[in-house]
Amino acid sequence: MGVKGMRIPVIAGNWKMNKNIVESASLVKELKDFVRGIKGVDIVVCPPFSSLWVVKEIISETNIHLGAQNMYWETKGAFTGEISPLMLKDVGCEYIILGHSERRQYFKETSKEVARKTEVALSVNLTPIICVGENLEERENGKTESVIEEEIKALFPKIDPTFAARIIIAYEPIWAIGTGKSSSSEDASVIIKYIRELFSSKYGSKIAERIRILYGGSVNPKNIGEFINESDIDGALVGGASLNALTFSQIAKAAKIL
C-alpha cells in the first residue's frame, strides 16, 4: 500500500446557505439510498445550522457523517448569534468547515481567528476541514504560494503535534469556487504537495503524510477522477454539486479506495 493508501479519501458537501428543513430532509434521504453500502470513503454533509438536527436523524446508522460550516472559538457565553463547538457536537456533528473563503472574504475572518477555531475544534474532538486558497489576482501575480504559506503557518501555534494528523485541509483556489472553472489536477497537485511540505517541516513527514488534503472548486462527477488520481489529493470539498443527491453520490463513488 502506498502512502496515499493510508489516508481514507473524504468527500464533503458544503451546502452553504441553501436548503430549508424539508428540502434538506429530502436531499439526504435520497443520498442515503444512493451511497448505501459504500466503503473506503468518508462521506460528509454540511447543511446549514437549521437543518443539522433533521439531517442527523436521517443519517444516523448510515455511512454519511455530519459537519457544520462555521463555529465560534468559545464554548459558551454571551456571544449573541454565534454557535458553540459543543452545541455542534451535541447535535451530532463530527466535522467542521473552518475558514471557507466566503467567510474570509465577506465576514473578514483572519487566519489567526481560523487558527483559534481550529484549536477549539480539535479540543472537543471535531475534525476541522480548514480551507485555504488564493484569489485570481494573487494567482496572476505569482503569490499563490505565499498566500497559502501565510494561511497554513498561522495554524501552527494552535495545532498541538498530538492532534495534527487529525486535521483536514481543503485547497480551494477562490477563482474556481462556484465558477464551473476548476483548477487542473496537475496545478492543484503542485499546491497540495507544497501544503504537505509545510506540515512536514513543522510536524515531520510521518504526521504530514497522515493529513488529508482535499481539492475544492467546481468539482463534479466528470472531473473528480482526475483529482483523485493524483497521489497527494485525498478527496474533495464540493459546493454546488453537493446540492444534488445523484451527482454528490457519483463523486463519492468515484473517490472511494477500490
The catalytic residue among 65, 100, 102, 134 is: 100
Residue, CB closest to ligand PEP: 239
Is residue 216 close enough to count as binding ligand PEP by CB under 6 A? yes
Closest-CA residue to 237 (of 16, 4, 2): 16
Residue type, 191: I
Q: Which of residues 84 and 218 has its CB atom nearest to ligand PEP in the complex?
A: 218
Stretch that binds ligand PEP, among 70-78, 132-140, 154-162, 238-246 (CB under 6 A): 238-246
Q: Which of residues 157 and 178 has its CB atom nearest to ligand PEP in the complex?
A: 178
Our answer to whether residue 65 is catalytic in this structure is: no
Rounded to 10 degrees, the C-alpha dihedral 13/213/97/46 comes to: 20
The catalytic residue among 113, 140, 172, 209 is: 172
CA 155/CA 153 separation, integer angstroms: 5
Q: Which of residues 24 and 182 has its CB atom nearest to ligand PEP in the complex?
A: 182
Residue type, 232: D
Q: Which of residues 3 and 136 has its CB atom nearest to ligand PEP in the complex?
A: 136
Our answer to whether residue 100 is catalytic in this structure is: yes
Considering the complex, what minimum distance in angstroms separates the CB of residue 253 from ligand PEP? Answer: 17
Show contacts with ligand PEP in window 158-177 (CB under 6 A): 172, 177
Considering the complex, what minimum distance in angstroms separates the CB of residue 128 from ligand PEP? Answer: 14
CA 187/CA 196 separation, integer angstroms: 15
Is residue 239 close enough to count as binding ligand PEP by CB under 6 A? yes
Q: Which of 52, 130, 237, 252 binds ligand PEP (CB under 6 A)?
A: 237
Considering the complex, what minimum distance in angstroms separates the CB of residue 184 from ligand PEP? Answer: 15
* CB-based contact 53:80 (threshold 8 Å): no
Q: How many residues at the interface with ligand PEP, by CB under 6 A?
A: 13
Considering the complex, what minimum distance in angstroms separates the CB of residue 97 from ligand PEP? Answer: 8
Residues carrying an active site annotation: 100, 172
Interface contacts to ligand PEP, rule CB under 6 A? 14, 172, 177-178, 216-219, 237-241
